[in-house]
């Protein structure tokens, strides 16, 4: 497994080793010991999977009281995945990073995105459809769920909207009602 740094030091790209031949390939995608040895969590309590069509934008989501670290993987398709640092004491507070995650062709690298607790998460579907699977370090906590507007002017995230060929992103009513970053109910400083 390769662990790659990103512009947000605690957010990591994980590339499992793939072993293939003319019959196909095999990969060990999660091993608790390997994750622990790499300084990543090895304990996940919930798996979530979504299917979305092109132009769907989900996020920016996070939870208070019971924050979730997320291990994100695209099973099929192509997304632009975003993590935003919400940790008030962090030198990267309010900074975001975006990543192209895809699994469209057999030779696409296997990639996971590790987003620790204390970050907001969202993604935009760039392919005709996409299936996204993510493991979480804590259970879903509806009372603590919060949303920051995907197009917040302070965060100024560079979503690749040009890939939608002039169509606006498809956003849920809940996400449309998200708050501005400057008014968001954020986790307390540690």
pLDDT, tens digit, for every residue of 85-139? Answer: 999 999 999 999 999 999 877 778 899 999 999 999 999 999 999 999 999 999 9
**Section 8-21 average pLDDT:** 93
pLDDT tens sequence across 46-80? 999 999 999 999 999 999 999 999 999 999 999 99
For residues 19 and 87, give the distance between their C-alpha atoms in angstroms, rounded to a whole number: 38
Q: Kindly report the length of the chain.
A: 190
User: Which residue, 1, 142, 122, 136, is CA-closest to 63?
Assistant: 142
- Prediction pTM value: 0.94
Q: Which candidate in 100, 121, 134, 140 is catalytic?
A: 134
Active-site residue, 134 included = yes
Which DSSP string do the residues of the chain spell out, in sequence order?
Answer: -EEEE-SSTT-EEEE--EEEETTEEEE----HHHHHHTTS-----EEEEEEEETTBEEEEEEESSS---EEEEEEEEEEEEEEEE--TTSTTTT-EEEEEEEE-STTSPP-EEEE-TTEEEEEEE-SSEEEEEEEESS---GGGEEEB-TT-TTT-----GGGGTTPPPB--HHHHTPBPGGG--PPPP-
Q: What percent of the chain has pLDDT over 90?
A: 87
Say if CB 139 and CB 66 are below 8 A apart: yes
Active-site residue, 140 included = no
Q: Which candidate in 19, 61, 92, 100 is catalytic?
A: 61
User: What pLDDT shows up at residue 122?
Assistant: 98
First to last CA, the chain: 31
């Amino acid at each position: 497994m390769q662990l790659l740094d990103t512009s947000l030091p605690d957010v990591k790209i994980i590339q499992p080793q793939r072993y293939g031949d003319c019959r196909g390939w095999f990969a060990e995608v999660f091993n608790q010991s390997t994750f622990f040895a790499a300084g990543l969590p090895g304990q996940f309590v919930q798996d979530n999977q979504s299917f979305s069509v092109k132009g769907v934008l989900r996020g920016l989501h996070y939870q208070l009281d019971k924050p979730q670290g997320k291990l994100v993987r695209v099973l099929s398709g192509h997304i632009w995945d975003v993590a935003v640092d919400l940790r008030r004491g962090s030198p990267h507070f309010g900074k975001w990073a975006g990543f192209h995650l895809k699994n469209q062709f057999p030779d696409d690298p296997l990639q996971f995105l590790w987003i620790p607790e204390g970050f907001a998460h969202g993604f935009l579907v760039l392919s005709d459809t996409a299936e996204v699977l993510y493991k979480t370090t804590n259970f879903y906590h509806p009372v603590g769920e919060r949303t920051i507007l995907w197009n917040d002017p302070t965060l100024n995230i560079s979503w690749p909207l040009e890939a939608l060929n002039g169509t606006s992103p498809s956003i849920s009513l809940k996400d449309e009602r998200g708050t501005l970053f400057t008014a968001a109910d954020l986790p307390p400083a540690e």
